[in-house]
Structure 1
Amino acid sequence: MPAVPPPLRRARTVVPLLYAVLTLLQFLVPALGPAAPAEATGPSAAAVHPGAGPGSNPPQTDRPRGRARSTGEPPQVEAARRAGCTMAGTARRAARAADIPLYVGCAFLQQETGGGRNVFGHDPTVFAGAGEVTRSKYRAYKRARHRTGEVQGVGPMQLTWPTFQDRADRLGGAWRPYPNMLVGFRHLAQLHAAAGSWTGAAHDYNGSGPMARAYAAQMAGRLDRMRSALG
């Protein structure tokens, strides 16, 4: 039998030792790794914020207050919505079509319907406080209007005079937010051209007398705040 070279004899000694080390590592490595995926990602929200879970308030985040996650809308629309203009996208379309600033439209929507709610008004006449303006309710209101001669504020801009309601109907329906806003905003543009200021337009939009003056005073503050919020 030929003699085994020294390097080969060393290899025959080292290889079994390597197999032994690899076998031992198979048992040691799992113990050194993370015990479970959940533990590897850190504690859950419920553990950090006691009581968190279905039906509870979500935990606060580190995101600076006042900065909302981007929705892909124009920044001015996002700012208007944060400032309380609930139908900011529709208001922007109507404001552009009527050629008035968005902050003006949003300020009037806040004054008239708390930001742009599509509801009936509360004048002591027909359909007072009748809630959401739907197509069927609006048609019933118009029948009552023709029968009694009484009018009620309708929609986001609280169109009250029959001329304005009928004008919105010709644009698609006074019960729909966009035609409703468009008619109201166009009327504001005409009043602004005549009065020379938005507070003057606000006075005339409401009517005349002490109530109109009080309305204009309220609108002065709303216009300033909304203009500041929208930049």
Structure 2
Amino acid sequence: MPWIAARTGLALTVSTLLLAGCAADVTEDRPAVTAAGSAAPAAPAPTRDDPAPPDDGLPDYGVVPTTTRALAPAEQTCPSPAGSTVRVSSSLPGSPTVIVGVPDGFGAVAPTGPEVRLAGPDGVTAVVTITAADPDPAAAFRRYTDQRTGPAALNTVNILPAELCDYSGQKLMGVLTDEPGSGIDYADRIVHVWTGSGTFLIAVAVQAPSGTPGFDAASAAMLGDFGVQMPD
């Protein structure tokens, strides 16, 4: 069963997500498109001494024990999806590379500072980020959820478990708006990855104006399983 909450005027203390510049390479049957994002200053991963977010009642769906086995350089721990893909890497030391499937209709790839943005049909957009994260996946997920929903005066969040290759993972879905009758629909997949050099949160965030035709189909395709490769 999913967990659903509606929050109005949410005011929680949230640690700002640490962002770093990303680079993307698209591979498909057509000639590859390559985009390189501008690198933001690298930030150190949070430590276990960082303050945890408040207990706001969000469930720990999708949280599994973090595996800390030995990892080989450039080891691929999750297989790449079939078809067209975009490879996303961060300038954060020790961060993984992510290989995300690109569904039909998502043609352009544009880096915008610390993120890689894909333009989809009917105004649907997808953003892929890799950020330093709290070593505790549940705490990292709560921080992300608060960061995602907090700016909206009215918001809903529907949380589902979404583990990936034994990594902790969640799917978030809902509506963000500042006034009734307008807003955006969003659907995100977040995965917590340990690389041996730190812990990182991979996020694939899809959104569109509320009521956009095809949003459900586009977000479902965009949030499929993706590949994860360890740093060199």
Higher strand content, 1 or 2 = 2
TM-score when normalising by structure 2: 0.25
Higher helix content, 1 or 2 = 1
Select the structure with the greater relative contact order (CA < 8 A; seq sep ≥ 6). 2
The structure number with the bigger radius of gyration is: 1
